[in-house]
Amino acid sequence: MPFTTLALNDYYLELAKGNIPRHSSIAKFGEKPDIVSGFETIWDGLGVYVVPTQARFHNVASSLAADAGEVISSGTAAGGGVNSLVDSAGTFQTDNVAVEDLILNDERVEIGEVSSVISETEVQIIRSMRSPASGLDGVGHVDGDAYRIVRDTSTGASVLYIDGLSPVFLQQREFVLMNGTNDVVTGKSYVRQFRGRVFASAATAAVGTITSTTIGEAVESISLQIIDGNNQTLMAIYTIPGNLLGLVTRWWGSMSKKQSATSTLKLRFGQLNHIGYIEQLRSIQSVGSSSFDHEFSVATLLPGGADIWMEADADAASVGVSGGFDVVLYERPPVRGPS
């Protein structure tokens, strides 16, 4: 059935299944645990969120040494798919690769865990190689893919996954191997970073606050931050990739640390660090309505490169606010030439 004839609920269901060509979606949400002064961006860091003035490499580090990992084995895959890794030149047994070690496919930015070591040249994978963002099955190992097998060196997280935009505003992702409080430079430069998640080879989690900080700015700024215990960013910030269009379909907000206070939330579109237009605003309060959820009857269309973010204020100290928004993404229609 063509998606144009689907009921709205059916459309969203088929969209989530990946059954509508050239369409995808993203849900962004965040929390400002403690609003200090004026309007602040809803994200894990302090104050107003600042983006780089141009694409920058970033320094990744934790506040504690326990967030660290090491490469046990690496090479180029000869194949294997989603359930195994085959490297004809591998030395998995010699390298002492073990069950639950993390497998990072750096070519496709997919992650898995070792379930067994079959031989020097093959390991089996628990469940499958999967997307670090959604947890869904990926493509798996294909001949020529670069990979790393890594292990925690302490009690914290060993790998940070970063999702953001390249210098030309196209989506790009990577894995960064943590080295505790020491800076590790990203392998790619980013004009935006809008999601981060940590991974570990054992039943652990990040024990420090993890940051990704710009290199080369006149004033360094944090592009993403993961607070101890969250294991991922909580940032109500997103940028439409340059090759896509975005439809904002919903936004919501609530008090997450309720005080005797009133807070105003703003949904903004435009350019971070430049001009941001208020699409809508709502007020919430501890006495009365402390939350809202608004679905647009007509979705707002945004071009590639447009920033979307939320901000909030409070008229009392120690107020926490959370919020988020949903965006349907689709490929730009082809430009037709003269007939």
Tens digit of pLDDT per residue, the chain (339 long)?
A: 444 556 767 888 888 878 888 999 999 999 998 888 889 999 999 999 999 999 999 999 999 999 999 999 999 999 999 999 999 999 999 999 999 999 999 999 999 999 999 999 999 999 899 999 988 899 999 999 999 999 999 999 999 999 999 999 999 999 999 999 999 999 999 999 999 999 998 777 778 999 999 999 999 999 999 998 899 999 999 999 999 999 999 999 999 876 788 999 999 999 998 889 999 999 998 877 789 999 999 999 999 999 999 999 998 888 889 999 999 999 977 666 565
Q: Sketch the domain layout of the chain as residue ranges.
A: 3-49+236-331, 58-67+154-226, 69-152
pLDDT at 5: 55
Q: Are the CB atoms for 42 and 31 separated by under 8 Å?
A: yes
Q: How far, in whole angstroms, is CA 238 from its chain's centroid? A: 10
H-helix segments, the chain: 8-17
Distance CA 325, CA 297 (A): 14
CATH number of 69-152: 2.40.30
pLDDT tens-place string over residues 274-286: 889 999 999 998 8
**pTM here?**
0.92
Residues 104, 159: contact at Cβ < 8 Å?
yes
Pair 86, 103: CB distance under 8 Å? no
Q: What is the per-residue pLDDT for 3? A: 46
Q: What is the CA radius of gyration of the chain?
A: 21
CA distance 227 to 247: 30
**How high is the pLDDT of residue 338?**
63
Intrachain domains 3-49+236-331 and 69-152 with the same fold: no
Which CATH number applies to 3-49+236-331: 2.60.120.340, 3.40.640.10, 3.10.450.100, 3.20.20.80? 2.60.120.340
Given a contact cutoff of 8 angstroms between Cβ atoms, the answer to whether 128 and 137 are in contact is yes
Kindly report the backbone phi and psi dihedral angles of residue 193, in degrees, each rounded to the nearest multiple of 5, phi listed first: -130, 125
